Structure 1
Amino acid sequence: MPSSAPCIIRAALPSDEPAWRALWRAYCDFYEADVGDEVTARTWKRILDPDSAVMCVVAEAEGKVVGFAHCVVHENTWETQPVCYLEDLFVARTARGRGVGAALIEWLRNAMRAEGWARVYWMTKEDNAVARRLYDRYSKADGFVRYVMKPR
C-alpha cells in the first residue's frame, strides 16, 4: 500500500472473514493471547449479528482488508447517552505508518457524533509506545489502572 493510498472504513462483511481471521491471529499473537477457535468463531458470529452489541469496522486499501476496530456500544451509569468501548484496534504490519489506525479512530469519532455517544474509550498496554503515539493525538491517558478478576 503506497504511503498516500487512501483506505475505506466500512462495516465488516461475511466475505471479510479470511482476512479478518488472519488479522485477528496477528493481533492475538501481538498480545500473546491464546484465544481459542471457539471464541474466535463466536466473535465473528457476533460481529455479523445486527442484534449484537459487538461491531467491527475494517480498513480496506487497494481491495484488501488491512485493519480492524472492534467496538461495543453500551449504556453506562455516568451519562444519559451510550458510550463506545474500542476493544481492539489492529493494522497489518505492511499497512502501518500510513494513516490506517488514524482512519479507524476518525471513523469512530464521526460515529460518536452521528450516533450521539457520550464518548469513545479504550486502553492499551503501557509499553505499547507505537500505538500510544497515535492515541495521544486524540486523548491523553486518564490515569486509571485496570484490574481483571477471573473465576478460579
Structure 2
Amino acid sequence: MGTVKRIMGIDPGLAHTGFGVIDFCAGKIKLVSYGVIETSAQDSHEIRLLSIYNRLEAVVKEFAPDEAELETLYFSRNSSSALAVAEAKGVATLCLAKLGIPVFMYTPNQIKNTVTGSASSDKDVVGRYVQILLNLNEVPHPDHAADALAGAITHAHNYSHL
C-alpha cells in the first residue's frame, strides 16, 4: 500500500466557499468530507472575508490536507462578482500559505475535462460525475462543494502523473 495524500479542493466565493477533502492512494480516491462556508450579505465586506478566513482555517486544521487545489479565475460579464471571488480566493490562498499547505491551480476547463471528459460540461454533469467517482449515494450539494471536490479529484489525477 502506498502513501496516502490528503487533498483539499476549494471553490472560493464571497457568499459561498465550497470545500472538499479526499484521500488519494495508489490511484484510488476516497471522500473524507465536504461542505460550504457561507457568509451573510448583511455583514460588512471585510467581516465576510474575515469569516471565510477563520472558518477555512478551522477546516484546514481539522482535516490537515497535504496539498490544496484552487480553480484559476476566469472573467465573466459581472465584474463586481468576479472581484468578490478574487478576494475570496486571495483569502483562501493566504490561509493555506499561512498554514504551509502547497496550492495547485487548474482552469475550469481542466477540471471539467478531467472529471467528465468534456470541457463543456455544466455544473449538474460535474456533480453527477463527482458522485460516481467518489461512489456516493447522491450528488454532493450545494454545487460549490461538488465543484471543490471536482478540483481535488483533478489534482489527484494530475498528481498521479507527476
Which of 1 and 2 has greater Rg?
A: 1
**TM-score, shorter chain, exceeding 0.5:** no
Q: Point out which structure has higher relative CO (alpha carbons under 8 A, 6+ apart).
A: 2
TM interval, short-chain normalised: 0.3 to 0.5
Q: Give me the TM-score of the superposition, normalised by structure 1.
A: 0.36
Q: Give me the TM-score of the superposition, normalised by structure 2.
A: 0.34
Comparing both structures, which one devotes a greater share of its residues to helix? 2
